[in-house]
Amino acid sequence: MPEKVNLNAYFERIGFAGSIAPTIQTLEQLHALHPAVIPFENIAPLSGEQVLLDQQSLEKKLLVDKRGGFCFEHNFLFMRILRDLDYEVKPLLARVIWTNPEAVTAPPSHMLLLIDIKGVNYIADVGFGGLSLTAPLRLRAGSEQTTPHETFQLTGGDPDWTLEVKIGEDWRGVYVFTAAEAAEVDLWDINRDLSSNPASPFTLQLRASLSPSGRRLKVHNDQFTVQPTGEEAQKRTLTSVAEIRAVLTEELGLTLPESEKLDAKLAGFLPQPTETAE
């Protein structure tokens, strides 16, 4: 039985007020607004909190409490919203090669969506951090597709598709996936592992980002990056827990929990003072 969805709360959170007909135009609007307003963040895994994927928990966290989430949270929420709007949506799994091309043979660790609009397939992904798509992409090989932030292309498709992004004049692989529908039990299991495994990057590093029009804002541990579209990135090193918290709340719009465990984790990302011999 489909979980009940609060469309009005979602529309209010992302600032959407338009036609809700299940067209490519509506999908494009929603896909641009979602990552511009709801941050990608892994505060819960970092703090040892459980990451829940039921709709009530996601709506409370991402819509009411003004938090964000990581890929499974964002794309589960987006999937259920789209289904409630009568889109045909399937969850897919991907193997991330953005930071490690050898991971093409690793188990899948990322969730994205496949959407059928009048017989034409698109992929959507509002949960890939500082490189989240800000527009749906048509599922076809070899054609450059522009989004509000970067230009992407899909290659392959028999059966493995590769999402690539254009960086300067070069194409770089982002992740590899097939169009086979993922079982929800597998998605829940991978989410549980990634959000609780002590070796997972989501329990070891701080990752947060937002993709408003014209720029991307990214936090990685003690580094804050502002990436204007098509321009050089501006980077700043954060030097205190208070400064990290301020960037997350003031720049990314997060409402952070008061948590000694979180603060201890954030402090661990700062340069540690070295002892000097007397």
Would you name the residues annotated as active-site residues?
Answer: 71, 110, 125
d(CA 256, CA 25): 34
- Residue 87 amino acid letter: Y
227/142 Cα distance (integer angstroms): 27
Residues 6 or more apart whose Cβ sits within 8 Å of residue 245: 256, 266
Site of tokens 């254009």? 166
Residue 216 phi, psi (nearest 5) = -125, 140
Peptide bond into 159 cis (omega under 30): yes
Pick the closest to residue 202 from 68, 34, 48 (CA basis). Answer: 48
Collapsed DSSP state (helix, strand, coil) of residue 14: helix
For residue 68, the number of C-alpha atoms closer than 13 Å in the C-beta half-sphere is: 28
Q: Are 248 and 264 in contact (CB under 8 A)?
A: no
